[in-house]
Structure 1
Amino acid sequence: MPRTYVKKMGREGKRNYSAVYLENAIREVKKGKLSIRKASECYGVPYTTLNEWVKGKRKNSYGGQPVLNSKDEECLVHGLIKCGEWGFPLKRHDVRNVVQGYLNRSGRVEKRFKNNKPGRDWFLGFIKRNQELTERLVQNIKRSRAGISEEVIHDYFDNLEVYVADMPPSNIINFDETNFTDDPGQSKALVKRGVKHAEKIMDSSKTSVSVMIAATAEGVVLPPYVVYKAKYLYPTWIENGIPGSGYNRNTNGWFDLEIFEDWFEKILLPFARKLNGRKVLIGDNLSSHLSLHVIQLCEENEIDFILLPPNTTHICQPLDVAFFHPLKGAWRKCLEEWKMKNRGILPKCEFPKMLKRTFEEVGVHLSSNVVAGFAACGIVPLNREAVLKKLPKSPRENEGLERRWSDTLVDHLKELRKETTGSTEKRPRQKRLNVAAGKGIVVRDLVESGDDMHSRSSNENQLHSDSELFVEDDTGRSSVIDYGGTTEEGENCSSYKSGEFVLVSFPTGSRNRHFIGQIIQMAESDAEVSYLRKRGSKQVHFVFPDVPDVDKTPLTQIVTKVKPKGIGRGRYIFPDIDISKIE
């Protein structure tokens, strides 16, 4: 059977008139200009055929009896749509297998199919008959994102509307960071038919540069802030870029607390101070974006810091929804043009110029994309339905929708969307601020929750007696160390000296967290401590981070002294304590 069947024209039962003549004849009859008999003679269309078309008795397509009747296809289309809404869209072969299973369970044998399984032609005809279905590339999302409920969105908008209800769009700012990679990605090209591996010579790597971008609901895009992965920053890395841009570097190329504070003070604050009235700053719930210093600056400059609900940036973050996709497309285009003329990876001295070309490539659509993102996320104008409609609806919630065979499939999809449980290995708890999404953050929230990473100060009355640490002495016996500031040997807090390693406890809500640090300087009621980081999987050890983590710690939070054992290259182990409870 040919891929595209066209009925032949001619004698012996073949259609001997064109479809255009049939359409013209029907139009003339319906307008009353010609009778059915006269139109049949003028356009060469059989009288009976034209009569059936005019009276609506003729089907709209040629061919034999379909395998699935209209009711079967309606149910199949409904089930495929539900599968897509619940995050499990079916592919071509999946749809063909579903139809094969349906025919087998019905006890039908379709001679036009091989083993009751439809072929490629049937699938193409099925898609053509049902225009509400289409084939598209799908994006993978985690189960945690798929598990967002309507209650979470309602709570977020209930808090958000208090801040943005009567606020001008120019005072609503969204910020987010993204990576610009050194790989332009795949593209289609002409090659010889039958080639299994089509290749294109172009240097690329997995390196990337982090960029922080902020924009207002009015469409104004603030200058970007670039973070390189390097130990030093050179003058050529900041030349020929977008005017007003900021540049920084660290050893991992990510935004940490110190770099975020620098972006806040150099890029956001100068812009926000030019705005009249209160401002709203909307961002994701990352601990690296919040510190006591940032929140204090927000309060001093009439800025309300609003957090998005966890795992909802793909539907609630304006820059993610409508801005980054066209920007990344322009970046890949500019990068590919550069790589066609040059060899090797993109040097850092070329990145500012390339980033500027990328923004210019988007051009006039830059502002409109931002405005569309705020509208799609229901922020400006304030409309929670813009987000709620992106969540799947249960068929029992839709009035007037009759129950179909797909209800059983929907119940199964509900279970698949839930977070997988029963894992034998307990995952470490991630750091999260105890602040409702859509609600502004104040200094009091960080101090009371004890979640500020910049200043580890906390209330000693929040210490929990059930958090204990076992230490083995030289005899192998275990003794319990509490948080009273003394050990079982009777040493007190005043016995600590500079240069000694100590174990420190920090209360964080439901449990205490333990860290190891080295005392730099002693005071009457506190000590300046430089904290270590836990590293390694096979041989767990501790090292001082590249960016020193130094903090003034109350003496009451120091549990005991610990004895380090150096293993070379600035690494330490502590054989006298249970390191599984140390972070």
Structure 2
Amino acid sequence: MPRRYTRKLGSREYKNYTEETLSRCLAAIRNKELSHRKASLEFGIPRRTILNKLKGYHVLNPGVPPIFTEHEENIFVNCIIKASDYGFPMGEFDLKMVVKHYLEQIGRVVKKFKSNVPGHDWILNFLKRHPQLTKRFADNIKKSRAGITKNDLRQYISFLSKELEGVPPTHIFNFDETNLVDDPGKKKVFARRGTKYLEHIRTTSKAGTSIMFCGSASGKLLPLFVLYKSRHIWSTWTEGGPPGTRYSNSTSGWFDSASFLEWFESILIPETRRLDGKKIVICDNVAFHFSPKVLELSETNNITFVCLPPNSTHITQPLDVAVFRSVKGSWRKLLGEWKENNGNNLVTKEIMPTLLGRLLIEINPTITNNLKSGFQACGIFPCDVEVLLKKIPGQDDDVQSTIESSFVTCLEKKRAEWTEKKPGGKRKKINVPPGKSITTADLNSEPSTSTAAHPEDRIIYQDESEDEEDWETYRQRCLAEDKEIEEVMTVQETSIPGFKPIVKSISSYCIVTYENEFYPGVILELSDDTAKIKSMKKSNSYWKWPEVPDVLEYEWKDVVGGIDEPIKISKTRNIYRVPELSNIY
């Protein structure tokens, strides 16, 4: 039988009526409103079918009966839904293996299944019999994001509700940074059947522009703040953009404390000055948001910062929940149209303001409702913890079978193993409970965890959503690695006094100075005055390349000499020896 059955021409029509039509037909006959023949003509149902239904014949569904009973299939459905709720959704292959395992457990062999594994047709019919299931793409989230609990959300909403007492929706704001890239993404097109490699000539790049969005619970979107990656900013990069948009630049293209302060003073402060009373600003807990200058300005203008729970912005931040998806979709659509009409050129900084203007026009009809829906879906306005708790998996009050209960127990255990937090906290976070306001006193009371200048401290912004080790655990682990390396090393370390002359060429190794400290690095780009260098960081008495590349531009006066390529002393670890610095460290 073909996968999609098509009725042959001339064959009789099979069940060309609905169950509702059949019920009305039988009711009319039982009430003696119509005879069998008249009911058959009026409702279009064969007379023999009417007689069989009245006598209770052929009450089962036509065709081959299903492999499993309705109760068994309902158990499969509940298990699929539970697995999805707990963050481990099943694919088609996973469901096949579950069915195979179930058949082996009960000692049953289904001849239609090859090796007791159902085929693709059974999966399609199973989904057709249970319309509450559907196939969708799943978004990947980190373990730390899956570790948010209901108690965390209850505590957050408890603090937040106290801060929001008497505050109207026009005075509640949420801001977040996003990145618009020069890539419109893929789209489905027509092609010859059987084509293996279909190409679409479209010039793209990995370049992106950081944009700061901010909106209120009343649905108002504040002017944008555009941050270019450059050392200077030119007038042509600001022409033709949306009204009120501010433009700035940084060497990394990421927001840091300086660029955030500029946005705070130029966008948020002018907006809040027109509002009387207390203003609430909800944001994620990132260190550069809370510089002393920002907190002083917030206290002067009656602005209260409220932090979201760590690793929870995917369910608690209105912009992430309801705004950015539509913004990114509209951006890809506009970008694709622009490339088709402009020779597939790359988006330059001169074109960016014009495209941003078109983007705001595109999202303008829906942005107000999206912002309101975002604040409501995140339980902020109106303040309601139940809308958040629905997003966290948990036991229902329904009576479950033994199979479902054991299945849920396994899921809970697996989720707990994956989301178990390591001891210690983040060194970059402000120690204020989520939902409570932040003041200058909270910032000043934070203990310092840095005792020396490291290359990683120069990274302007890094969104750290993974749980980190505390400093003592990290130090002990490094000492253990260092001791192990020293035991297996057989090469005698040699000290070379002084440095070699600087070799001004790409991929050559050198020593740079930063805050009176020496760091080895490799030259990536160079010019007459500066060089872009990727530097290493200290690891006890050795060196290693940081996971996030530490790339900065240095003047040639800060490059003190050349060195040989660092010597890797472990085959499995990212540990190197720099002989030229052995007499210094």
TM-score by length of 1: 0.75
Distance 1:22 1:418, change over 3 A: closer
Give 2:390's aligned amino acid. Answer: K
Q: Structure 1 residue 22: deviation in Å?
A: 7.5
Counterparts of 1:211-222 in structure 2, within 5 Å, are: 211-222=211-222
Q: Does 1:19 align with 2:16?
A: yes
User: What is the CA distance between 1:575 and its match in structure 2?
Assistant: 4.9
Is 1:28 paired with 2:29? no
Moved more, 59-68 or 315-324: 59-68
Match of 1:93 in 2: 93
What residue is the counterpart of 2:375 in the other structure? 374
* Structure 1 match to 2:409: 411
Alignment match, 2:65: 65
Kindly indicate whether the alpha-carbon contact (under 8 Å) linking 1:181 and 1:209 is maintained by their aligned counterparts in 2: yes
Listed one character per residue, the Cα deviations across residues 332-387 of structure 1 (whole Å, up to 9, x for unaligned) are 01111111123332101100111111111112101111111111101111111111
How far apart, CA to CA, are the structure 1 residues paired with 2:262 and 2:349? 21
AA aligned to 1:175 is F
> 1:86–1:413: 8 Å Cα contact kept in structure 2?
yes
Mapped pair 1:439 → 2:436:
yes
Change (3 A) 1:422 1:157: closer
Q: Which whole-Å CA distance do the structure 2 matches of 1:278 and 1:69 have between them?
A: 61
What is residue 282 of structure 1 aligned with on the other side?
A: 282
The correspondence of residues 203-282 of structure 1 with structure 2, limited to 5 A, is 203-282=203-282
CA positional deviation for 1:417: 2.6
Shift of the 85–44 alpha-carbon distance from structure 1 to 2, 3 Å rule, reads closer
AA matched with 2:79: G
Q: Is 2:535–2:551's contact at 8 Å kept on the other side of the alignment?
A: no
Aligned counterpart, 2:458:
none
- Let me know the Cα RMSD of the aligned residues: 3.7
Q: Which deviates more, 109-118 or 145-154?
A: 109-118
TM-aligned CA deviation for residue 113 of structure 1: 2.2
SS of the equivalent of 2:353 reads helix
Q: CA deviation at 1:516?
A: 8.2
Q: Residues of 1 paired with 2:59 and 2:9: CA distance?
A: 19
Query: Aligned partners of 2:56, 2:217: CA distance in 1, in Å?
Result: 52
Q: 1:441 to 1:4 in 2, by over 3 A?
A: same
The aligned runs of 1:350-389 (5 Å cut-off) are: 350-389=351-390
The answer to whether the Cα contact below 8 Å between 1:180 and 1:211 also exists between their aligned partners in 2 is yes
User: Counterparts of 2:384 and 2:55 in 1: how far apart (Å)?
Assistant: 46
1:356 maps to a residue whose letter is G
| Distance of aligned partners of 1:239 and 1:419 in 2 relative to their CA distance in 1, 3 Å threshold | farther
Could you say what secondary structure the match of 2:351 adopts?
Answer: helix
**Structure 1 position 577, deviation (Å):** 7.1
Change (3 A) 1:57 1:245: farther
| CA deviation profile, 1:283-323 (whole Å, cap 9, x unmatched) | 00111211111111111111110000000000000000000
Cα deviation for residue 36 of structure 1 reads 5.2
Where 1:226 maps in the other structure, the secondary structure is strand
- Note closer, same or farther for the CA distance 1:270–1:52 as it changes in structure 2 (3 Å cut): farther
Deviations 1:495-550 (A, max 9, x none): xxxxxxxxxxxxxxxxxxxx98459xxxxxxxxxxxxx9941585699997699xx
> Structure 1 residues 160 and 30, CA, compared in 2 at 3 Å: closer, same or farther?
same
Matches within 5 A, 1:334-483: 334-340=334-340, 341-394=342-395, 398-418=396-416, 420=418, 429-450=426-447
Q: Provide closer, same or farther for how the CA distance between residues 64 and 20 of structure 1 changes in structure 2, counting only shifts above 3 A.
A: same
Provide the secondary structure at the position in 1 that maps to 2:73: helix
SS at match of 2:350: helix
Q: Is the 2:534–2:552 contact (alpha carbons within 8 Å) kept by the matching residues of 1?
A: no
CA contact (8 A) 1:154 1:384 kept: yes
Code of the residue aligned with 2:256 in structure 1: it is D
Contact 1:205 1:345 in 2 (8 A): yes
Bigger shift: residues 536-545 or 433-442: 536-545
Cα distance in 2 for partners of 1:100, 1:215 equals 51
Which residue of 2 is the match for residue 486 of structure 1?
A: none
Question: Alignment partner of 2:266: what SS?
Answer: helix
Letter in 1 for 2:440: V
- Displacement of 1:38 in angstroms is 5.2
Q: Distance in 1 between matches of 2:17 and 2:301?
A: 70
Q: Which runs of 5+ in 1 are unaligned?
A: 457-465, 470-514, 520-532, 549-563, 579-583
SS at structure 2 position matched to 1:214:
strand
Q: Provide the rounded CA distance (Å) in 1 between the counterparts of 2:58 and 2:74.
A: 20
Aligned to 1:130: 130
CA–CA separation in structure 1 for the residues paired with 2:435 and 2:179: 26
CA gap of 1:7–1:195, structure 2 versus 1, over 3 A, is closer
Q: Distance in 2 between matches of 1:216 and 1:284?
A: 16
Deviation larger for 52-61 or 111-120: 52-61
Instruction: Quote how far apart the aligned CAs of 1:182 are.
Output: 0.6
Task: Return closer, same or farther for 1:227/1:418 CA change in 2, 3 Å cut-off.
Answer: farther
Identity %: 38
Structure 2 counterpart of 1:187, which letter?
K
SS in structure 2 at match of 1:179: strand
CA deviations on 1:436-473 (whole Å, 9 max, x unpaired) are 001000111011114699xx9xxxxxxxxx99x9xxxx
Amino acid of the structure 1 residue aligned with 2:178: T
Whole-Å separation in 2 of the counterparts to 1:116 and 1:413: 25
Deviation of 1:118 after TM superposition, in Å, equals: 1.7
| Residues 91-119 of structure 1: CA deviation (Å, up to 9, x unaligned) | 11221222122223322222222222222
**Residues 329 and 409 (structure 1 numbering): CA distance in 2 closer, same or farther, change over 3 Å?**
same
Measure the CA separation in 2 of the matches of 1:236 and 1:98: 60
CA contact (8 A) 1:282 1:306 kept: yes
- In structure 2, the CA distance between the partners of 1:51 and 1:441, relative to structure 1 (3 Å rule), is farther
Is residue 318–residue 373 contact of structure 1 (8 Å, CA) maintained in 2?
A: yes
Shift of 1:130: 0.6
Q: Which amino acid aligns with 1:155?
A: Q
TM-score (norm 2): 0.75
Taking a change above 3 Å as real, the CA distance of residues 370 and 422 of structure 1, as seen in their structure-2 partners, is: closer
TM-aligned CA deviation for residue 49 of structure 1: 3.5
- Provide, for residues 411-451 of structure 1, a one-character-per-residue CA deviation record: whole Å limited to 9, x for no partner: 3323333465999x999954111000010001110111146
